[in-house]
Amino acid sequence: MTKLLELKDKYTKIFATYEIYITSVLKFILALVTLLLIRGNIGYMSKISSLPVTIIIALLGALLPINAMIWIFALVLLLDLYALSIEVAATAFVLLAVIYFIYFRFTPKDGVAAILTPVCFRLGIPYVVPVGTGLLGGAFSAISVACGTVLFFFLDGVKQNASVLTSTADADTISTKLNVTVGQLLGNKEMYMVLAVMVITTVLVYVIRRLKADYAWSFAIVVGIVTQMVGLIVGYIILGVAGKIVMLVVGSVISLLIGFVIQFMFMNLDYARTERVQFEDDEYYYYVKAVPKKMVASEKKTVKHFGNTGSMGKRIEKTKNTEKDDYISNKIIAEELDIDEDVLK
Amino acid sequence: MINEDRVKELYYLAVYESTSEKTHKQVNEYYVGDYVWKEVLKSFFSGTFAFAGIVCLWAMNNMDVLLDRLNTMDIFETATIVVAIYIAFMAVYIFATVLVYVSRFGKGRKNMRGYVEHLKNINRMYNREEKLKR
């Protein structure tokens, strides 16, 4: 544990020193992973989804704010879907507009949660997002999680129905394409179920972690993961998709571990050393509970001196030595070393 | 010589001005009621657009049924249902707006108070220095 705390301290210092560069690198990684997932799943426009263009866009994303990155991702999505079918692109445009009017109106600063939700869904660990946003964000972060969830299910549905959606266009096909594209979203019971569980979990984690109880964060993480597991297992059984339960359990365990890593990084308290103090001023009486953070004393460097070090660290004036000064210094050194002064001449 | 305390206070001011000033500026310009009403008005438009988008998606999904029943459809009844759903949607949307922006106003007011405290400290420091000079 002490070693971990030392490492955390070390990395925090490094992050503080090179914050600008590290933030840009992290943004680049986030943008690259997102774009690679878009490319791998719905990269229908070869020009925009080619690897060099993906890397260039990711580099651009590293220099821009998160919300600008969201605009870029939306544009890439629309272009890819346009290459698949104009009807799908039109539906995606309307859906993104609805998300825009909800997301940007209420939680414009939760861009990371909005991006990470579909990304984590694709990586198989979406359960970490409600826990993470509940711990680090506010209750309204649930809106970002909801927007990300809807977007994921839409894109996943498009990917699964890609063969139907690429067929040639005539009046009947257009109608079918619209039915398939919108129907797989609006008629997706699994999406509504997952959406409800994720929103409830986000709010629950937020409420629990704000409690004044000891170990509130740990409790919030465990309750968040258990709520999702129970809610989704029940939902999957009702919907008859029990095959997803194994991945759900694996993803939940990974999410639990990530949740504790988040806690370690942002709220690592030592409840064993809790102090309760009471004091008063003219107007109030205060009951204060102070919980110290787990910290390690910074490593002290010991410098070992060998030999006579009485004059070490003393400032030596850089003046032109006169013959007299030389004589005096020689005399002192000879005395110090207990040797004959003539040896130094 | 650099006055360290003053540098610390100036740092707080600079951080606030560079990060939160734009967001919380309106807190200083409006009463809570006016601020929330302004946002509710904005939400009225954005909510209406969002609802139009949802209706559009629903229409895309049910285009065949809509086209089949277009001539036999009771327009008045359909319009009543749509308006009722719109009112319910807007009620939720505007309620969320009120919750979000009341909370945002409270947070902004708190930050603004902190900023003013630092501003006062700076002012005191300058006044003290002026007196010493005299």
Q: What is the pLDDT of residue A315?
A: 58
CA A7 to chain centre: 18
Mean pLDDT of A111-121: 88
Confidence of residue A313 (pLDDT cuts 50, 70, 90): low
ipTM field: 0.75
Task: Give me the domain span that covers residue B127.
Answer: 4-133
Average pLDDT over residues A42-58: 88
Burial B74-112 (b: 16+ CB within 10 A, else e): eeeeeeeeeeeebeebbeebbebbeebbeebbeebeebb
pLDDT above 70 (res B1) = no
Cβ neighbourhood burial of A157 (10 Å; 0-12, 13-18, 19+): buried
The minimal CB distance from B50 to the residues A91, A101, A178 is found for A101
Contact in structure between A118 and A152 (CB atoms under 8 Å)? yes
**Tens digits of residue pLDDT in B105-132:** 888 888 888 888 888 888 888 888 888 8
pLDDT at B110: 84
Please, which pLDDT band fits residue B64 given cuts at 50, 70 and 90? confident
The verdict on a CB contact (< 8 Å) between B61 and A105 is no
A41, pLDDT greater than 90 = no
State percent of chain B over pLDDT 70.
95
Quote the number of domains for chain B. 1
Residue A156 contacts by C-beta under 8 Å, 6 or more apart in sequence? Answer: A41, A121
Check residue A168 and give left, alpha or beta (phi > 0: left; psi -120 to 50: alpha). Answer: beta
Q: What's the pLDDT score for residue A314?
A: 58
Output the CA–CA distances (angstroms, integers) from residue B24 to A306, B17, B57, in the order listed: 60, 10, 36
Contact A183 B61 (CB under 8 A): yes
Residue A98, token pair as written in the block: 């609805």
Which chain B residue shows the shortest CA-CA distance from A172?
Answer: B64
Read off φ and ψ for residue A19, nearest 5 degrees.
-55, -45
Q: What is the mean pLDDT of residues B15-42?
A: 81
For the residues A277-284, what does the mean pLDDT come to? Answer: 81
Interface of B with A in 55-74 (CB under 8 A): 56-58, 60-61, 63-64
Which chain B residues touch A181 with a CB distance below 8 Å? Answer: 60
pLDDT greater than 60 at residue A319: no
CB contacts of B50 in chain A (<8 Å) are: 97-98, 101-102
Which pLDDT score, from 0 to 100, does residue A102 have? Answer: 86
* Helix, strand, coil distribution of chain A in percent, nearest 5: 70, 5, 25
Task: Name the band, by pLDDT with cuts 50, 70 and 90, for residue A323.
Answer: low
Give tens-digit pLDDT for A241-259. 878 888 899 999 999 999 9
Q: How confident is the model at residue A344 (pLDDT cuts 50, 70, 90)?
A: low
**Residue A171: per-residue pLDDT:** 61
Contact A94 B47 (CB under 8 A): no
Tokens of A298: 């910074």
- Which of the four pLDDT bands, split at 50, 70 and 90, describes residue B21? low
Interface residue of A67, A96, A105 to substitute, partner B, most B CBs within 10 Å? A105
Is the pLDDT at A320 greater than 60? The verdict is no
- CA dist A110 and A102 (Å) reads 12
The answer for B 15-44 residues in CB contact with A (under 8 A) is 42-43
Which of B47, B53, B58 is closest, CB to CB, to A97? Answer: B53
> Quick count: other Cβ atoms within 10 Å of Cβ A217?
23
Q: Name the more confident of B25 and B67.
A: B67
Q: How many CA atoms does the CB half-sphere of B42 hold within 13 Å?
A: 14
Question: Are the Cβ atoms of B57 and A185 closer than 8 angstroms?
Answer: yes
| pLDDT above 70 for A168 | no
| Mean pLDDT taken over chain A | 84
Evaluate if residue A345 carries a pLDDT over 70. Answer: no
User: Do A229 and A252 contact (CB within 8 A), yes or no?
Assistant: yes
A199 Cβ under 8 Å from any chain B Cβ = no
Beta-carbon separation of B50 and A102 below 8 A: yes
Residue type, A75: L
Q: What is the torsion angle, in degrees rounded to the nearest 10, for the CA atoms of residue A198, residue A203, residue A204 and residue A209?
A: 130
Helix (H, G, I), strand (E, B) or coil at A162: helix
Q: Which residues of B touch A143 (CB under 8 A)?
A: 96
pLDDT tops 70 at residue A70: yes
Please tell me what DSSP assigns to residue A344.
Answer: G
